[in-house]
Structure 1
Amino acid sequence: MPQKIIIIRHGETDSNRKRIVQGHLDIPLNDKGISQAQSAALQLKEHHIDVIFSSDLLRAYTTAEHTAKHHDLPIQKTSLLRERHYGSLQGVSFAMVAKKANAEFVHFSQVVRGREKEYGAESDEEMMERIRKFQTYLDNHKNKTVAIFTHGGLIALLLRHFLYLTAVEVDKMSFPNASPIILMKKGERYEIEK
């Protein structure tokens, strides 16, 4: 396993700004998102990154490109790091998702949980299976620093996987656009570096 894992959510898109569910929709960064990606790259400049992985969706890959330039590294793209597929909810506003579900709005992923079949959405278990497959890539980078550019929904599951957190614990966390989360290996486990 890597010694350090740096997880970065993609920069802002117009759909983020308008509070629209993106899922697998391939939405580019907006101007603010490009600026956020540049800022994240500068923040990460001080870290010795050995490998960069990215979701194959444009918003994550474009965010990764800015960091890759500073480190002169190729980006390894994979669909395993994509956002959750939200089925019929992709392209729908957060408010409409809550209304459809007759739920007080907390977060659309919480509205979907347990009702994935109804919406044709990917379940937590299906996403965890993607993470377990991705783990085989990480296992090839023992004692290295790995950067992962991905999406908010997948970050939640990555943290559950690496930190052994529950869904309830992760639901209380937020993952701002282009803000790195650094996990350091401590023995056989990972901890968030403060």
Structure 2
Amino acid sequence: MTEILLIRHGETAWNAKRRLQGHLDIPLNEEGERQAAALGRALRDKPLDAVFSSDLQRARQTAEAIAAPRGMQVHLDRGLRERCYGAFEGMLYGEVSQRYPEAYTAWQARDIDARFPEGVHIAETLREFSQRVVATITRIVTENKFRRVAMVAHGGVLECAYRAAQGLGFSHARDFDIFNASVNRFTWDGSKLKIEHWGDITHLQELDEEALDELDQT
């Protein structure tokens, strides 16, 4: 049995503005760096056999906050990247709906085989993306004898893992939250993923407390 801590990266400036990132390489903003540091402190005493990350810097920076205090290496894996959205990348949600109304409708309908217009990168269909994500997670845990491993990735990656573990197709509306810097605990028994705990952000409460302390001092 392998425990997987599947973690979403900290906040970026584009997250805050609801601008699509996809494969565009956007760093953490100041809040995201604070979230990553809090995450690292929260997991400091948690035994980990390895830390894996998407190779995009927002995930890599978050993973380093976990690995560096332990003297561990972050193993980068492109398979943990966010979905590639093609021409949508870099655009606000409202801009996508105005410029590509048909493709936007297919996206909102979670059409599993819709491919969005090409941009800097060639877009992935939802089916291709989901298959990539699940294959990557299972490859990492089956190729190694880990008891507990952290994987830092993206919101879309977490959604794919959630649906795979719950047996939910994409026709089912997303009725679960995906938080920046959240810890989502899964187990892998050699054949399937199981969710043990979803959306843990208790470690971010200290940031709210710090903000209140700063207000008290002004």
Structure 1 residues 143 and 169, CA, compared in 2 at 3 Å: closer, same or farther? farther
Are 1:78 and 2:77 matched, yes or no? yes
| Matched-pair identity in % | 31
Secondary structure (helix, strand or coil) at the match of 1:27 reads: coil
Which entry has the higher C-alpha Rg, 1 or 2?
2
Work out which of the residue numbers 176, 179, 191 in structure 1 matches 2:195: 191
Secondary structure (helix, strand or coil) at the match of 1:116 reads: coil
The RMSD of aligned alpha carbons is 2.6
Which amino acid is the alignment partner of residue 64 of structure 2? E
Higher mean displacement: 171-180 or 110-119: 110-119
Deviation (angstroms), 1:171: 1.5
Q: What's 1:151 paired with?
A: 154
Q: What's 1:88 paired with?
A: 87
Question: What is the rounded CA distance, in whole Å, between the counterparts of 1:91 and 1:12 in structure 2?
Answer: 16
The alignment of Structure 1 onto Structure 2 pairs a total of residues equal to 191
Q: What's 1:175 paired with?
A: 178
Unmatched tracts of structure 2, length 5 or more: 199-218
Structure 1 residues 170 and 78, CA, compared in 2 at 3 Å: closer, same or farther? farther
Higher mean displacement: 161-170 or 176-185: 161-170
Deviation (angstroms), 1:72: 2.4
Question: What is the rounded CA distance, in whole Å, between the counterparts of 1:170 and 1:81 in structure 2?
Answer: 23
Segments ≥4 residues shifted beyond 6 Å: none
Question: What is the rounded CA distance, in whole Å, between the counterparts of 1:89 and 1:147 in structure 2?
Answer: 29
1:158-180 deviation digits (Å, cap 9, x = unpaired) = 22233423325572112111011
Deviation (angstroms), 1:109: 5.0
Deviation (angstroms), 1:186: 6.7
Q: TM-score, normalised by structure 2?
A: 0.77
CA contact 1:23–1:85 (8 Å) conserved in 2: yes
Deviation (angstroms), 1:133: 4.2
Deviation (angstroms), 1:134: 4.4
Aligned ranges for residues 7-86 of structure 1 at < 5 Å? Answer: 7-86=6-85
Secondary structure (helix, strand or coil) at the match of 1:92 reads: coil
CA contact 2:5–2:185 (8 Å) conserved in 1: yes
Work out which of the residue numbers 125, 128, 144 in structure 2 matches 1:126: 128
Structure 1 residues 98 and 188, CA, compared in 2 at 3 Å: closer, same or farther? same
Deviation (angstroms), 1:110: 2.9
Are 1:116 and 2:114 matched, yes or no? yes
Q: TM-score, normalised by structure 1?
A: 0.85
Which has the higher relative contact order, 1 or 2, with Cα contacts under 8 A spaced 6 or more apart?
Answer: 1
Secondary structure (helix, strand or coil) at the match of 2:48 reads: coil
CA contact 1:160–1:170 (8 Å) conserved in 2: no
Deviation (angstroms), 1:45: 2.0
CA contact 1:98–1:111 (8 Å) conserved in 2: no
Structure 1 residues 48 and 125, CA, compared in 2 at 3 Å: closer, same or farther? same
Structure 1 residues 168 and 111, CA, compared in 2 at 3 Å: closer, same or farther? closer
Structure 1 residues 185 and 133, CA, compared in 2 at 3 Å: closer, same or farther? closer
Structure 1 residues 193 and 70, CA, compared in 2 at 3 Å: closer, same or farther? same
